[in-house]
Amino acid sequence: AKLKEEQDECTLDGSVDFYGQPAIREKSGKWVAGTIILLNQGLATLAFFGVGVNMVLFLTRVMQENNADAANSVSKWTGTVYIFSLVGAFLSDSYWGRYKTCAIFQVIFVIGLALLSISTQISLLKPRGCGDETTKCGTHSSWEIGLFYISIYMVALGNGGYQPNIATFGADQFDAEDSKEGYSKVSFFSYFYLALNLGSLFSNTILGYFEDEGMWALGFWASTASAFAALVLFLGGTKRYRHFKPSGNPLSRISQVLVAASKKLTVKMEVEEESLYGAEGSEKTENGARKMLHTNGFKFLDRAAFLTSRDLDQLKQNEYNPWRLCPISQVEEVKCILRLLPIWLCTILYSVVFTQMASLFVEQGDAMNTKISNFRIPPASMSSFDIISVAVFIFLYRRILDPLVHKFRKNNPKGLTELQRMGIGLVIAIMAMIAAGIVECYRLKYAQKDCKHCQGSSTLSIFWQVPQYALIGASEVFMYVGQLEFFNAQAPDGLKSFGSALCMTSISLGNYVSSLLVSIVMKISTEDHMPGWIPGNLNKGHLDWFYFLLAGLTAIDLVIYVVCANWYEKMKLGGKYEDNEEKGYAA
């Protein structure tokens, strides 16, 4: 009987099964569903990076764009991917739920990749055999260029809308209220980021090599097949997944709090928590989300939950107006978002550093010695060292560093907090930019200044780029895994996908800021007929100065981040064990 009771035990976090019934712990979710989602993520990432990793070379060789334009086009395209993540998160949190959103956007992703493969094979690779390092392609008609951009922006929409939801959907498979599953939930984010990187490893090496040799259509068709396999696998696990019901439009909930607080500007408020609407009662809100408890910051917003005599009269007559009175849990949801924003803004500059890996690192590598005997190493495949570094540092962190910190800091069972790890990520990112700048100084020292085709024009080996790629990989483990965990843990229950989308949007804005920074630097540095810091011929420029500029900006960002992290106040939840320290979450 006890065994039967264990088998029929429901989850405590309010998750439901495919039919909308409370999810039974042993028959749903956990690592069975988690593993399907990890495999799905690996295959989808392989498909995405099969297109993304060599996009800069495709634009220069096939679409005839110059270096600066191609780097900017890639930054804008990648940025758009992440902007679409906000669309996916909004639809998921508000109306569709995470499962439906993931399925729909994956279908768009597959269609976009198929269109790209067809247009490349039929119309873009002309004359036949063009697109490698020696044979450039001819000009294209406006409809061919139009079809190409429609297909890559469909890929951006599909991948962008799916990405934040799959991370959160994977975390949904583990019950945070259960100690064992709660630990698995934290582990899931590390393995999720590892799956993402292992998926891109194949793209960066095998697919990157074929594409560099001019076999673009083959590379794109391989990406399409991988995305289709990911979709089939995802749909195959349908009956096993745990779900959370969408909690309605968050924009209206946030607006209600702001309007209600504004209406009571002149009301004299009492400080007692009992005078706030919804301060007492059940541990869950109406939509099944865990109730958020009152915190002391942003006191102006508490006015939205303050019960005036007029509000009490209306409640007695069952005339509740959500634009005049909001439950304290709804007010805390808005406070929570306001507290997250400064931390999020500090991560944008880190993403500027991260985005150099897909653009300027590749262009820098292309101007180095890429030969090993007769074999040419594609510059984009050097990002494999970033992926290997991610895998190594995830292992080192989870198996060695975290237990070690836990041993010395017995008062903190979680080891390093997410905010501390994000700070370490910023420090390592500064080191990566300094390393890249030093390598560029030496590359210029051994380069031919007056070359016309400057590919491989420096005798310095491309393997000198390994330290900068490895340092970026190490910083990702601390910054992006910490960020995923932080935003998932600290976002309100009704905005979990939005929390993951914030991580992606910081990468997006990082791409746009990078593009803007390159444009500003080129405008200033090309005055008086100078070649500029990042000209077409890198041997006449000063890419090293640009890297050092980024290191300096990231150092300033680190100082601001430390201030914001110390100011941050953790949210308090009802119905869940929380250590609920008020301040010093970063301490």
Position 367, amino acid? A
Q: How far apart are CA 514 and CA 353, in angstroms?
A: 8
Instruction: Give me the count of residues in the chain.
Output: 587
* Each residue's pLDDT tens digit, 504-543: 888 778 878 888 888 888 888 877 777 778 877 777 778 8
Helix (H, G, I), strand (E, B) or coil at 578: coil
Cα 489–Cα 494–Cα 498 angle in degrees, nearest 5: 65
Residue 183: the pLDDT is 79
What mean pLDDT comes out for the span 96-109? 94
Helix (H, G, I), strand (E, B) or coil at 49: helix
Cα 413–Cα 415–Cα 417 angle in degrees, nearest 5: 110
Residue 407: the pLDDT is 78
Banded pLDDT at 576 (limits 50, 70, 90): very low
pLDDT beyond 70 at 7: no
Banded pLDDT at 15 (limits 50, 70, 90): confident
Residue 312: CB atoms within 10 A of its CB come to: 12
Query: What Å distances lie between residue 585 and 252, 341, 573, CA to CA?
Result: 30, 16, 15
pLDDT beyond 70 at 35: yes
Helix axes 142-172, 30-52, angle to 10 degrees: 160
How many contiguous H segments (helices) and E segments (strands) does the chain have? 20, 2
Banded pLDDT at 285 (limits 50, 70, 90): low
Where do we find the tokens 């990989």? 473
